[in-house]
Each structure stands twice: as structure tokens, then as C-alpha cells.
Amino acid sequence: MKKKDGTSPRIAENDDEIYRLLVENADESIYVVRKGVIRFANPKSAKVSGYSREELLGMPVANLIHPEDREWVTQRHVLRSGERAEEDRYVHRIITKQDRVRWIEVNAVRIRWKGKSAIMVFATDVTDRKMAEDALWASERRYRSLFYSAPSGIFFYDKDLRLVEANGRFMAAAGQTDVSIVGMNLGRIYDRRIVPCLSKPLSGEEGKYVGGFRKDRDSEELWLFINTLPVHRADGDLIGGIGIFQDLTDWKKKESMLRERESELHLKSHQLEEANTALQAILRHSKEELSKLQSNILTNIEEMVIPLFNKIRENDTMDKAAGCLDLVEYNLREITSPFVRNLSLGYYNLTRQEKRIAGLIRKGLKTSEIADLLGLSQRSVEHHRYKLRTKLGLRGSKTNLRTFLLSLGGEG
């Protein structure tokens, strides 16, 4: 049978030949070092280092070692060269001929080489494994950094809902200050409203919860957001769940306060609208009252003053004229007095003549004097007095009419 390169494989004739073939075809670098210099190197050594076998022979082994590892590796080589040195295994870096860094795992043993003491080194290229380990370590470090310094609470639990790991935010929210919380059964917590969210990842589903949470019966209710996801091993087996939560209690309180404030502002706005409406009504009423007052003044002047001037013109005697002028003065005072306003506002059914006679009675004039002054019969005046008592609610009462009329003006 021919090899892949077309040559026929060599057949070992003795043990030395067998050992030589093993070394020549080994899948790891094998070289012999004596007094710090490479005395033998197999083909794999050349492939890993980038040097030819001829270049390796006679090269100080330190030339291959990475500068940062050179000192401690050399020290180990010196110790290994002692009489009591045993088999040694370790990992270090080398620099290839192309200035690339490779990682090798070394297993070195003492041997006799051409009758003299030497070291046989078996070196396996573990660069890919080392890079994978470093990447995993970096990933783990990033994960740890994120896990423990995250602004949110993060926790990991197994398929039995037992807490495996938690960061500081979670422990603080749970009221714990150390890792004694690890191992707690999350399925037996006091507030069971969040348990369905924790259980969903164990069925391969994502869980979410936003709502209230109490640590125990007497504790203040918190407002939490929780998101949970399933966690699998590299082979796909489900091993538990991971949860991330945020304490939204302060945000919820501020939202509640904002809503209360909005409600208060809405109520105050409504009250201001009502007050504005009432003010507008008062202003309208005031304008109406002012207009009515002006109208009443004009009406009273026309009813109580102008006729008396006409009366003066018609009378020739000075006594009657003087009496009319007195009445004019009295009526002008009454127009601006509370008496007339009270009559106008409280008793709308008084006639013009009744208002005149009421004013004269209040002044103290007798029936005959009123009749003479107004050109009426005494019987007509008596009739008007009777109507006034009726309209003013004095009928059947012993109250004096003049006294009552004086009380309307606020006088005794």
C-alpha cells in the first residue's frame, strides 16, 4: 500500500527502527535538548515552529520561547536537568519564525542521548484550545461583570425553582445582604402572583409580569417588572431559567401623584369655570339692577315729582304751592332713600298713586291733608290707605301704617 504522497511506507526491521518511525510520524512536536540547545527535532516540530529541521538543530531552545515566558520556562528547564527532576507538564507560548504566537503544552522527561544526559520534550500545539479557553474566560468575565454590576436585578434558578445565583440588586430587593439567599425555593414565596412568570421558562417559554409584589403580609407593596427566559446547556438540555427584574415602585408612586395632581387641576379648572360663570351672571345681574335702578329713578321722578310741579302751576294760593314744594322736596329725598328702594324691590304691586300716598303717610300727613294736597276726596284717600294695609300684609293687624312705612326706610 502506498502513502498519499505516492511513496511506499517503510517497514520497521527492529525496535530502533520502530521508535524512529514513531517519532518521525508523531502528531506532536518531539525534540531533544541538551545544555539548552536543540539536538534533535522531528518533522512536526518544524511544522509548528515554522523553522526547518536543519534550522532548529543547534538553536538555543530559549530562542523559541516567548519573551514573557522565557525566564520561568528556563528556570523549570534548569530544575528539570537536576538529578532529582521528574516528569514535568506545563503550557507556555512560543514565537514562530513568522513572528506568530503559538501555545504549546509541554511534557518533558530526562533521557540519555548518545550516552549523555538530555531532556526529551513532547509538545502539543494547543493554540486553538487556548484561544477558545481565553475567549470563554473573557466571555465569562464579561458575563460576571454584567451580572453583578447590572442596574437591574438578575437571578438564575434551576428546574426546581431553587435560586442558584443572584446579583446585588436582587439580594437588596429581597432584603438579603449575603449569599444565604442562594438555595431559596422561589416557588414558595409569600406573594404567589409572580410564580407563573417564573414557571414559564421551565416549559421553554418566556415569562413576563408587571404588577404588585409583597415580601410578606406586613411589607409595603412594591411594583415590579419581571422578564424570565429559559436557560439551556450546550447540548440543548433545559437546566433552569434566568430572570431580570426592575423595581418600578418609585415610578408608580410618581405616576399616581401625577394623576392625583391632574385630577386636582381638573377639579380646580372646573371650579374656576363655575366661578367664572357665576361672576358673569353677577355682572349681568348688576348691570340689570343698575339699569332697573336708573329706570326706577326716572319713573319715580315722573310719577312723584313732575305731577307736583304741574299741581303748583294750577294752584293760585301760596299755601298750596308751598305744600307742593315741600312734597316735591320730600319725594326727591324718598327717591334716593331705602324706603322707595324697599317698596320697589319688595312690593311690586303698588300703584303709582299708592306710592304717593304711602310717602305722604310716612311723612306724617293726615288723610284730609293728603286729600287736599292731591286733590282727592278723603274717602278716596281712606280707600288707598286700606289697599296699602292689605298689600303690605297689615290687614287685621294693629300695627300703625306710618310706623310700618318708617321701618321700611330703616328709621325708628
pLDDT in tens, 224-280: 899 999 999 888 899 999 998 888 888 888 877 888 888 888 888 888 888 888 888
Strand partners, 212: 223
Helix (H) or strand (E) segment spanning residue 290 = helix 249-304
Provide the pLDDT for residue 412.
37
Instruction: For residue 201, give the C-alpha cell.
Output: 421558562
Provide the pLDDT for residue 95.
93
Provide the pLDDT for residue 347.
52
As a whole number of angstroms, the distance between CA 124 and CA 122 comes to: 7
The contacts of residue 331 (CB under 8 Å, 6+ apart) are: 300, 304, 305, 308, 356, 359
Domains (range + CATH), the chain: 15-128 (3.30.450.20), 150-247 (3.30.450.20), 305-408 (no CATH)
As a whole number of angstroms, the distance between CA 272 and CA 370 comes to: 56
User: Rg for the chain (alpha carbons), in Å?
Assistant: 60
Provide the pLDDT for residue 227.
93
Q: Is the pTM of this model over 0.75?
A: no
Stretches in the chain below the pLDDT threshold 70: 1-16, 80-87, 175-179, 294, 298, 302-306, 308-326, 328-348, 409-412
Instruction: For residue 322, give the C-alpha cell.
Output: 308751598
> How many residues belong to the chain?
412
